Structure 1
Amino acid sequence: MPGISRSAATMYLIFLVFIWGINWPLTKYALDFSPPLLFAGIRTLIGGILLVGFAIWKRGPLRLKQNWHIYLIASMLNIILYYSFQTIGLQYMPAGLFTAIVFLQPVLLGMFAWLWLGEAMYPLKIFGLLLGFAGVAAITTGGIFGHISVWGLLLAIASAICWAGGTIYTKKMAPRVDPLWMTAMQVAIGGVAILGAGSVTESWSDIVWNMSFIFDTLFISVFVIAVGWLIYFKLIRNGDSAKVGSFMFLIPLIAIVFSVLFLNEHVTINLAVGLALVASSIIVVNMKPRRLKKELPVL
């Protein structure tokens, strides 16, 4: 895919942060009507089918024989493990709290990009990522009332590691695969795998097929999964991974706001502290030292 302008990147980021922010309380709500793995499989498979259809229409090179292992590894990290861990983990603690822990991912993403992609890492960026980490920590250590389960904590951390690792792997493999097929195949494979696991371990009869659940599932499938992953990987391919990741710190804050509004979860002053730290993090991470201004690409 061609590069994108700063204004287009900004619009993409605004959309992505908002849509992925509301995804968490929407997912928490849907779990009242469906077992976790079946719900994760249904929404992911629908999103994957939409993406595969779009990829076929665009007629990009699939090269399944040469690239099947790349699609499988990316799917395992970004979709199968990430969605399974988060969907199961959301049963153990409030949506806003779980989301905040998962979004330690931007810190991991910045470190992984430096270690494995050779992206620039300098003191100002490290400081900015640490500010974001502090913002998330402010939320998780008291910003939200709710039971902190050990299993929920471990699943949230595992989700963050899988997502960060999968993002780096996808960017590293980008020169070898068509970007649209890379996104479509990993989502479709993930959907089949998660739905299969859910069909074996859970009961389809436990799903309540009311209009709320159907609308919730379709909304997440189309906008959060199909459109969201396309935008996310487009931004990652065309920009500094840590800078894109820094905006991801905003997602748990949006998730918390909507959890408060619609799921009756409660927050304290820590949320305001976390918001200030996250906003500062985004500003600092996107600042460049003078010596690097001519060397680093502009997102």
Structure 2
Amino acid sequence: MSTNRPGAARVMLVLLGLLWGLNWPAVKISLSGVSPWALRSTGLGVAACTVFALGLLRRRPMALPRGRERLHLVVAGLLNVALFNILLTFAQLGAATSRVAIITYSMPLWATLAARLVLGERLDTLRAGGLALGAAGLAVLLWPLLAGGLPAGILLALGAAISWALGTVYMKWARLSAEPLALAGWQLLIGAAVALTGLMAFEPGRHFPPWSEIDVRLLLALGYHILFGMAAAHVLWFSIVARMPAGVAALGTLLVPVVGVSGAVLLLGERPALTDLAGFALIFCAALCVLLPARRTAPR
């Protein structure tokens, strides 16, 4: 794919922020009628099929990597896709969607910290300040909840953010050389297989409500999640990565929690507390510090 159209890539990045951001309330509404494991196995399965179809249409090598890369791919798929998505699903069952979205996007902070410990990457002043802002944001967000004990949904959201960060650092450490679309497709397939295993093991019985009990709101939310929040968004994301530097693309995803929190307020009727908004502002600024490109000293 051509990489000389930054304007089109920026438009696609804004569209991705809208798709992934609105997916947060869509998942919350879908969970009111669909079981958690069924929702994830269906969404991840359709997304995997879509990515493989795109790879075949573009004539990319989509075969499973050989040797040690196969093991690395499985570990990355478990961390990046399976564990991340499953934890987030149950997090939204136990906490407000806006609060879960805010905590999840502390991921760049955990990734920066893990890269420092695992990869030996140095922290410049901007990133160190970002870590401090992120810690302050999490403290402001979680402090009012400590009196009654942290809800399970909050802990699961933290686990999802850490899992996503560890998966990102693991992929960098493993130095996977396979086709990016193939890596994405197989990771999504691994996530779908794990979710399907959970479905068969933990959710006997009905997974979707009967047609007579499905209202328009649930049907629209479920259709949006599967077709747009998972399948179309992943295809869009890989197209963006092919057109833009990875750092710039990652910076653009900061639009997602903004849309997610706004969508939770407008579509779900949630009213974030002042501490939620303050924590969100601090974590957003912290992620911005971490994702901005490092300054380089100009040669004399």
Task: Say which of 91, 100, 105 aligns to 2:107.
Answer: 105
Deviations 1:240-283 (A, max 9, x none): 65x75555554333222111111111123445545654564466
1:89 is aligned to: 91
Matched, 1:253 2:258: yes
2:197 is aligned to: 196
2:163 is aligned to: 162
Change (3 A) 1:226 1:101: same
Aligned-partner Cα distance in 1 for 2:250–2:117: 15
Give SS of 1:205's match: coil
Name which of structure 1's ranges 83-92 and 51-60 shifts more when overlaid on structure 2. 51-60
Structure 2: which 5+ residue stretches go unaligned?
A: none
Structure 1: which 5+ residue stretches go unaligned?
A: 295-299
The count of corresponding residues between Structure 1 and Structure 2 is 289
Give SS of 1:90's match: helix
Deviations 1:91-139 (A, max 9, x none): 1111111222222211012223344456553111221343355445545
Name which of structure 1's ranges 281-290 and 256-265 shifts more when overlaid on structure 2. 281-290
1:74-85 matched pairs, under 5 angstroms: 74-85=76-87
What is the root-mean-square deviation in Å for CA atoms of aligned residues? 3.3
Give SS of 1:266's match: coil
Task: Say which of 127, 130, 133 aligns to 2:132.
Answer: 130
| AA of the residue aligned to 2:258 | L
Quote the offset at 1:178 in angstroms.
0.8
Quote the offset at 1:29 in angstroms.
0.8
Aligned-partner Cα distance in 2 for 1:280–1:87: 26
Change (3 A) 1:272 1:161: closer
| AA of the residue aligned to 2:126 | L
Contact 1:93 1:149 in 2 (8 A): no
The normalised TM-score by structure 1 is: 0.80
Give SS of 2:32's match: coil
Aligned-partner Cα distance in 2 for 1:262–1:111: 35
Quote the offset at 1:223 in angstroms.
2.9
Aligned-partner Cα distance in 2 for 1:206–1:149: 29
| AA of the residue aligned to 2:73 | Y
2:295 is aligned to: 289
Contact 1:101 1:140 in 2 (8 A): no
Contact 2:109 2:130 in 1 (8 A): no
| AA of the residue aligned to 1:27 | V
Sequence identity percentage: 24
Quote the offset at 1:44 in angstroms.
1.0
Aligned-partner Cα distance in 1 for 2:97–2:272: 12
1:231-270 matched pairs, under 5 angstroms: 232=237, 239=245, 248-270=253-275
Aligned-partner Cα distance in 1 for 2:123–2:8: 25
Aligned-partner Cα distance in 2 for 1:128–1:202: 41
The normalised TM-score by structure 2 is: 0.79
1:20-99 matched pairs, under 5 angstroms: 20-64=20-64, 66=66, 67-99=69-101
